[in-house]
Amino acid sequence: MNPAIIQRIKEAIALANLSVRLGLAAIVCFCVFGTLASLAAFKDSALVYYAFHYLPYALIAVSIPISLYHAFLLARYRIIQAGILKTVLAVGVGLLMFALAIFIRQGAGVVFFMGLFLAMIAWFGMPFLFRVNFKKFLTFLEQSNLENRSEKCSEKHSENA
């Protein structure tokens, strides 16, 4: 097996881990700043309000380009079925387009934020799915590599004997 492919998959797993951490940080921010926003001492704090409402969205949004790169790798190496990949991406992109259309038509109202919330949930789940597929593919590549090496060693040993 080509060592460059193995290295690229290892890098993709590291990026997927980063995306997962960004998603988990979004949940922590939502919980922490939501709790702070509900306290009387921080009720009028603009910083807590903006952190509660926008920071989780921003953290998930940072992981979207990484997920698109992962989708490209998964499609290129045919690690995941094309139909599954298209469905996952269609849901994420479709929900983002829905939220954008609502924003253009009605502004930043309740429906927009609900649509955006659903879109972010879709994008939040992608790194988990992609990471699992990359790990299984890496295991397959490394196992194939070991089998090829052992076959070559046994061939050399039988030729020398």
159 pLDDT above the threshold of 90: no
Radius of gyration in angstroms for the set of CA atoms belonging to the chain, rounded to a whole number: 22
72 pLDDT above the threshold of 70: yes
Could you give the 3-state DSSP secondary structure of residue 80?
A: coil
Q: Which amino acid is at 161?
A: A
Q: What is the mean pLDDT of the chain?
A: 92
**Run of H or E residues at 41:** none
**What CA–CA distance (Å, rounded) separates 140 from 144?**
6
Contact 127, 19 (CB under 8 A): yes
Q: Where are the domains of the chain?
A: 3-151
Centre a 10 Å sphere on the Cβ of residue 109 and count the other Cβ atoms it contains: 11
What tokens appear for 2 in the block? 């080509």
146 pLDDT above the threshold of 90: no
**What CA–CA distance (Å, rounded) separates 18 from 69?**
13
State pTM to two decimals.
Answer: 0.85
